[in-house]
């Protein structure tokens, strides 16, 4: 990450020749602060808060074409990447609070098809437990006394 025209963006280049790196995102407003390379070896995902309202949107950037796609459209929705790994290179789990602003449901994003599908409604978890097969195994819920409990 480095500024491009004074705005923080993601740059990519050879590890042994950093001077050859170039910006692959071209934000001109608030900058990009969170990104991840996907395990399909062609996609970079990043989160962006375009309005400064903490409603982060997820974008997928095809590194070969330079095309960026908004994965999580809609207003007043906060997106977060929950899990992705090398065993499922074209799939990732994303949390969206589209149904309840206090809770993130789990969605599966298929990088190859560009589709987003809800796989788990949130029963009240503050955080999700996800295994290496990208399956939801449980969650962490807050208790009335300020503690927490892990539910499997």
Tell me the whole-structure pTM to 2 decimals. Answer: 0.91
pLDDT of residue 73: 84
pLDDT at 43 over 90: yes
Cα separation, 75 vs 77, in Å, equals: 5
Task: Give pLDDT tens digits for 120-130.
Answer: 999 999 999 99
**Residue 150 placed within a domain:** no
Closest C-alpha among 128, 89, 127 to residue 110 = 89
Number of structural domains the chain divides into: 1
**Residue 146 placed within a domain:** no
* Domain hosting residue 56, numbered range: 33-126
Tokens of 132: 């290496």
Contact 30, 50 (CB under 8 A): yes
**Residue 73 placed within a domain:** yes
**Residue 77 placed within a domain:** yes
**Residue 147 placed within a domain:** no
Q: What HEC string does the chain produce? A: CEEECCEEECEECCCCCHHHCEECCCCCCCCCCEEEECCCCCEEEEEECCCCCCCCEEEEEECCCCCEEECCCCCCCCEEEEECCCCCCCEEEEEEEEEECCEEEEEEEECCCCEEEEEECCCCCCEEEECCCCCEEEEEEECCCCCEEEEC
Length of the chain: 152
**Residue 47 placed within a domain:** yes
pLDDT at 36 over 90: yes
pLDDT at 51 over 90: no
Task: Give pLDDT tens digits for 53-76.
Answer: 889 999 999 999 999 999 998 889
Contact 134, 112 (CB under 8 A): no
**Residue 39 placed within a domain:** yes
**Residue 17 placed within a domain:** no
């Amino acid at each position: 990450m480095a500024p491009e025209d004074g705005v923080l963006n993601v740059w990519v280049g050879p590890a042994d020749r950093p001077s050859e790196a170039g910006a692959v995102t071209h934000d001109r407003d608030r900058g990009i602060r969170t990104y991840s390379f996907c395990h399909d070896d062609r996609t970079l995902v990043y989160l962006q808060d375009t309005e400064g309202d903490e409603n982060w949107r997820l974008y997928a950037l095809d590194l070969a074409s330079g095309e960026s796609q908004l994965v999580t459209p809609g207003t007043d929705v906060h997106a977060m990447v929950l899990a992705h790994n090398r065993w499922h290179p074209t799939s990732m789990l994303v949390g969206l609070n589209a149904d309840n602003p206090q809770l993130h449901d789990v969605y599966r994003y298929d990088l190859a098809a560009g589709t987003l599908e809800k796989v788990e409604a949130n029963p009240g978890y503050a955080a999700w437990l996800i295994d290496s097969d990208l399956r939801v195994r449980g969650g962490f819920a807050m208790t009335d006394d300020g503690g927490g409990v892990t539910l499997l």
